[in-house]
Amino acid sequence: MSRIETCFSRLKAANKKALIPFVTAGDPNPEMTLPLMHAMVKAGADIIELGVPFSDPMAEGPVIQRACERALLHHTSLHDVIAMVARFREDDDTTPVVLMGYLNPVEVMGYEAFATAAAQSGVDGVITVDMPPEEAGDYGEALKKAGLDPVFLLAPTSTEERIAKISALAGGFVYYVSLKGVTGAANIDMSSVSDKLNVIRGYTEMPVAVGFGIKDAQTAAAVAAVSDAVVVGSALVRVIEDHAEHTDHAEQIIAEISQRLVAMREAIDQVD
């Protein structure tokens, strides 16, 4: 059983939902990523979604776009991100880590080379935003051969045909994008999210995570009431941005992100 499966199985047995925070690796600098990952776990994270910096992050809003820019100023590469996960595994062999990024750096590295290196470092799953399922054959095979879960995105506009196709290819969990737009945008229509999740569950028994638009503990609790996992990104990355110009604010960044996650964890755990 993979770390992701084990995590969701444990949570289900305890009648709890997963909290999945997202940060961009190398933001605001590469030295911050490892202590921030450990701090997020301590604050209640069940799975870590680690962004791979990319120059054209098409699914991201301005906050995470700027996070990628800051990380790339430090030349944070896909190889660096994989190495960060390996260092994380030296002290944490339990918490699943899912990489979220774009296909170009993977193509440069090569599908099999990437999958092998990622798996050996302790990566558990991969979200490749711009890899559609129709074209994921060789890539998906390389991931599965290495024991990595290919996590795909579903959207409010996804048809039932597409939901069925993605559910058949996906591993670990399914990621439902709650909004039409980019990360950090708008407010969630919980009624629409609930209705769509009911449709998705007709095609898969995998856990369904919901991300985009989750801003605070109240939103996290509302999403947890209808999903299996809550993904929060821009709200955390904005904390980093607020302190990014101050090289001596590392402890403050970790403290503020931890406080937000603790509040979300407590709110999620109160959901029946």
- Looking at the predicted structure, is the pLDDT value of residue 227 above 80? yes
Q: What is the pLDDT of residue 180?
A: 60
Q: Among 184-188, 193-197, 256-260, which is the least confidently predicted range?
A: 184-188
Q: What is the pLDDT of residue 84?
A: 98
The whole-angstrom separation of Cα 221 and Cα 232 is 12
Q: What is the pLDDT of residue 184?
A: 45
The whole-angstrom separation of Cα 128 and Cα 204 is 20
pLDDT band at 186, cuts 50/70/90? low
Q: What is the pLDDT of residue 190?
A: 82
CA 20 vs CA 50, 208, 236: distances in Å:
10, 12, 11
Percent over 70 (pLDDT), the chain:
97
Inter-residue contact 226 to 189 (CB < 8 Å):
no
User: Between the ranges 35-39, 52-56, 166-170, 175-179, where is the mean pLDDT highest?
Assistant: 35-39
Instruction: Give the architecture-level CATH label for domain 3-269.
Output: Alpha-Beta Barrel (3.20)
Q: Among 4-8, 56-60, 179-183, 189-193, which is the least confidently predicted range?
A: 179-183
The whole-angstrom separation of Cα 210 and Cα 232 is 9
pLDDT band at 183, cuts 50/70/90? very low
What is the rounded average pLDDT for all residues in the chain? 92
Domain ranges of the chain: 3-269
pLDDT digits (tens, 9 = 90+) for 71-108: 999 999 999 999 999 999 999 999 999 999 999 999 99
Inter-residue contact 87 to 115 (CB < 8 Å):
no
Among candidate residues 59, 18, 56, the one with its CA nearest the CA of residue 40: 18
Please give the distance of CA 172 from its chain centroid, rounded to a whole number: 12
Contact residues for 109 (Cβ-Cβ < 8 A; gap 6+): 78, 79, 117
Instruction: Please state, as a whole number, how many other Cβ atoms lie within 10 Å of the Cβ of residue 18.
Output: 24
